[in-house]
Amino acid sequence: METLNKKKYDFFLYLLEQGDAMVCLDARLPEVDLPASHKDNSSLSLVFNLNFRRPIEILDEGIYATLAFNGRPHKSVIPFEAVWAIYDPNMKNGQVWEESIPTDMNLADQGISIEPEDSPTKLKTVKSTGKPTAKPETEGKRDRSHLRVIK
C-alpha cells in the first residue's frame, strides 16, 4: 500500500472508531463507482459510520459500501486515491492531503481552510463555513435491527 493511501486508511479508521467520518473525494476518477448523478463532482462529501444498516468494508485500497442515494441503494467503490480530505463533521477537524486535491478545485469555494504544517495541532484542520450539522432526533439510540430474540 502506498504511504499516502495508508495514512488515509489509518485516519479514516481512527475517525470511525470515534463516530462519524466525512470523506471528501473527487468522484470524477474512473475508479470511483457512484451513481451517475455524482460522477462529475470534484468535491463530493460522504458521511460514514460503523452503525450503518448495510455492511461497510474498508480495505487498504479503498472503501466498499452500499450507500443510499435518493433512497436507492448503490454498491459504491471509493478508492483512497480519490480521497483528498477526511474529517469529523461534528468537531470540524481532520486531515487534508493537499497533493490529492483536484488541481481545478479552489478550496476557498468549498469553505475550507488549512492550518499551516507548523501549527500546534498535529492534524491539519478542515473547517466548514456552513451551518453546524444537526443532531439526529434518534441520537443515543442505536439501530438494533440486526439483533433478534432467541427463546
Architecture category of domain 3-110 in CATH: Roll (2.30)
Greater confidence (50 vs 132) lies with 50
Which SS3 state, helix, strand or coil, does residue 13 take? helix
The type of residue at 102 is: P
| Average pLDDT score over residue span 70-95 | 91
CA dist 129 and 151 (Å) reads 52
Structure confidence by residue, pLDDT tens digits, 14-65: 999 989 999 999 999 999 999 999 999 999 999 999 888 888 999 999 999 9
Quickly state the pLDDT bin for 91 (edges 50, 70, 90): confident
Quickly state the pLDDT bin for 77 (edges 50, 70, 90): very high
Greater confidence (23 vs 150) lies with 23
Helix (H) / strand (E) element for 45: namely strand 44-48
Beta sheet of 44-48, edge-to-edge order = 44-48, 21-25, 83-88, 93-96
Q: Which pLDDT belongs to residue 135?
A: 40
Sign of the dihedral through C-alpha 10, 138, 143, 75: negative
What are the residue ranges spanned by the domains of the chain? 3-110
Instruction: Supply the pTM of this predicted model.
Output: 0.68
